[in-house]
Amino acid sequence: MEFRTSVNLSSNTQPCFFTSSNTWRRNLSIPSFPISKTSSFHDVSFSCKASSNNNNTISPVKEMRNSAVFEDSRVFELSNLTALSPVDGRYWNKVKELAPYMSEFGLIRYRVLVEIKWLIKLSEIAEVEEVPSFSNDARDFLEGIADGFSVDDALEVKNIERRTNHDVKAVEYFLKAKCQSHPEIAKVLEFFHFACTSEDINNLAHALMLKDALNTIMLPTMDEVIEVICNMAKQNAHIPMLSRTHGQPASPTTLGKEMAIFAARLSRQRKLISQVNLLGKFAGAVGNYNAHLAAYPSIEWPQIAKDFVESLGLDFNPYVTQIEPHDYMAELFHAIIRFNNILLDFDRDIWGYISLGFFKQTTKAGEIGSSTMPHKVNPIDFENSEGNLGEANASLAHFSTKLPISRWQRDLTDSTVLRNIGTSLGHSLLAYKSSLQGIGKLQVNETRLNEDLECWEVLAEPIQTVMRRYDIPEPYEKLKEFTRGRAVTKESIRDFVEGLELPGEAKAYLLKLSPHTYVGIAAELARAIDSFISSENGTSIL
């Protein structure tokens, strides 16, 4: 987007021009503030202090609020700068790939698809003689409307909706108008939306939106996050690192093994996401096929509905009210929340490791870390990811608890909530990409890791454990007295071990041990992460 302003401080109005790549443009008149003609733009100052002595004084802020800018809503037609949601504004370029699926355009497109598929299904039912089997030409015509559905088509639907004040009925009218020119389909226009309630169309559209968005965008990005963290695990499998439990030095691990834990956890949740059955219903106004049977009492409508829903790649739910109860959505969103929480845990750990100096971050020429401290390179990608994961999870949690609840056979509260799913997925996607970007900047600082490992008191654990094996009395208590509140060094540890009555082999092992080598099988666990994920979880799709 190009943004250009023109300001004339010497007149009573300020013409402003907004231009963008989509060619929309507005010219405005904005009352100017009382500024001297010799003032520069940066000389303008605002005072928020109210004056009770001069009732004619209007603060610049109040004057601005009363100006044409705020009265003329056309100024704020949607752009990156005027969007209320940052996923449609500041972060649009990072999440726009979700738009074909999760936007209102996507919802309308899937509604059109369901309506067309239902009309074709009716033409295949022999008992519905009024809708003869369609020719190949008629089928191609109908499927071409769905396959070629464009933004202009969606705008046409929205124009119809302005008259009908009903979004699904607008789709039906759009299709009738679109098919009027085809002689074969024109004879059966009234069978568009036959025996359907709006929710028969909507619930399938929402399920298809989720299915395609997850399979095409979300799951592959989750897989990329898991793969990148797996690579971190394998590449750093051998690098020892001091652990911290309760924030205090603890038995050493390896950097790679700690990364492998996150890869394994994320992979399990990703599998659970892909195992959620996306359900659909097609049973009429209250789930009983009332209208269907009134028109064609001899047809097995439940089987027809089941076949139709499954033909769309969804699972059939036979027990419904006017709506599909959305329980599967609660399962799905809870699973995504768990994935997001694990990634948030990863973000915070990496943030902490950067703070400890275990990682350095590569920089790009011209980038600024802090506006006042030139030396800083802030871990902003992991902070951005953490913030967006929190934002996503707050909404996803609301969806999970709200959507399965609907008064009696249906209330409308789910409708407005469902329209926000794309925003939550957008925040999740943005978080995944931010984590990936942050990981791409990390450089392991082995020098700092080695410095941190000069913490010889952590060897109290293996020493007292070996002492237990060889029946030395009170091993824990002896090490507690030796280490707690005292400076423990390599030499003092060595002297302590030398004084123990242990077999020569056991004593030699302990004398050779250091915090750098006391890592158990951490390296092996890190190197085996790929095979664990492949055998335990896989990468299935919905």
> Do the domain assignments include residue 490?
yes
Spatial CA neighbour of 333 closest among 411, 420, 423, 398: 398
Q: Does residue 155 sit in the same domain as residue 221?
A: no
Domain identity same for 267 and 386? yes
Q: Kindly report the pTM of this predicted structure.
A: 0.84
- List 240's β-bridge partners, or say none: 254
Choice among 210-219, 259-268, 393-402, 467-476 with the minimum mean pLDDT:
467-476
Residues 439, 460 share a domain: no
Same-domain status, 337 and 463: no
**In the prediction, which pLDDT does 372 show?**
59
- Domain limits for position 275: 206-302+309-443
Average pLDDT score over residue span 58-64: 54
Do 290 and 418 share a domain, yes or no? yes
Same domain, yes or no, for 104 and 213? no
State yes or no: pLDDT of 507 exceeds 50: yes
Residue 326 has pLDDT above 80, yes or no: yes
Mean pLDDT across the stretch 427-437?
A: 97
Of 431, 394, 395, nearest to 222 (Cα)? 431
Instruction: Tell whether the model's pLDDT for residue 51 goes beyond 50.
Output: no
Catalytic pick from 10, 40, 52, 246?
A: 246
246 is catalytic: yes
Pairing of strands 240-245, 359-361: unpaired
Q: 57 pLDDT exceeds 60?
A: no
Is there a single domain that holds both residue 403 and residue 330?
Answer: yes
Compute the average pLDDT of residues 514-527. Answer: 97
Residues 152, 249, single domain; the answer is no
pLDDT of residue 485: 82
- In-domain check, residue 57: no
Q: How many domains does the chain have?
A: 3
Choose the catalytic residue: 11, 355, 370, 540: 370
283 and 388 in a single domain? The answer is yes
Q: Answer yes or no: are the C-beta atoms of 468 and 475 closer than 8 Å.
A: yes
Q: Measuring CA to CA, which residue among 206, 238, 23 is closest to residue 103?
A: 206
CATH code where residue 328 lies = 1.20.200.10
Residue 462 domain-assigned (yes or no) = yes
Asked if residue 79 is part of any domain, the answer here is no
